[in-house]
Copies of this chain bind each other. A is one copy, B any other.
Amino acid sequence: MPRTPQENERIRQLAKKNILEAGMKLFINKGYHATSISNIAEQAGISKGLLYNYFKGKEEILATMVETRVGEIMDVMNQAKEIESPVEQLKHIIEGAIDNVFENPEVFRFYLHLQTQPEADHELIKYSRFLIRENARQFEFQCEIFEKLGAMEARKRSLYFSSTLQGIMLMISTYPDKFPIEEIKKQIVDEFCH
């Protein structure tokens, strides 16, 4: 009795998820270039040949990871859009961003690494650009919040806010052990949320 097409598709998705998780683990741990297709197949517990059945190559695995990442960021932004008060919106963004980095500093570190990819790495630069573009969209949204807050020169204030928040995330991912996140959250909230 053959499987239904739906069932087949479900199995396919599970297999892809397995590969993606193996890839993520290795990319984060060893880096993209240092991870070979063989490594990923081994980590996923499948053969190299089968891996090519699901992904065109190493790059497509990364592409899928980046898309997922960007989706998650957009989800947080969309949640924030549901909130009425601009002050609460900002707090939600701050909390979401800082907690997320604190829980998985190595994930943030990986995407920051990807984002700072050299311009001429033709294989990876598109993902760097994709992440940067997404950051810019975030920034636009934050601009609107600062406008609603009635800030003079909302754009510049928002730029300064983004810098501060990005800086905190960078510091947490670099020194996750020693970082007093609650104290720092308090300082950024005090400075910007009023």
A135 to B174 Cα, complex, angstroms = 10
- In the bound complex, residues from chain B placing their C-beta under 8 Å from that of A171 are 159, 162-163, 166
**Chain A contacts with B in 33-73, Cβ cutoff 8 A:** 33-34, 47
* Chain A interface, DSSP helix/strand/loop, else mixed: helix
A137 to B162 Cα, complex, angstroms = 25
Q: Which of A13-21, A80-88, A104-112, A141-149 contacts B (4 or more CB under 8 A)?
A: A104-112
Q: Taking A116-B113, A163-B184, A187-B160 as contacts, is the C-beta distance between A34 and B170 under 8 angstroms? A: no
- In the bound complex, residues from chain B placing their C-beta under 8 Å from that of A106 are 118-119
Instruction: Name the contact of A164 in the complex, choosing from B110, B117, B167 (C-beta under 8 A).
Output: B167
16 residue pairs A–B, Cβ–Cβ below 8 Å: A2-B47, A28-B118, A30-B118, A30-B120, A31-B117, A31-B118, A34-B123, A106-B118, A135-B174, A156-B183, A157-B187, A159-B171, A162-B171, A163-B167, A164-B164, A166-B171
A-to-B contact residues, CB < 8 Å? 2, 27-31, 33-34, 47, 106, 109-110, 112-113, 115-121, 123-124, 132, 135-136, 153, 156-157, 159-160, 162-168, 170-171, 173-175, 179-180, 183-184, 187-188, 191
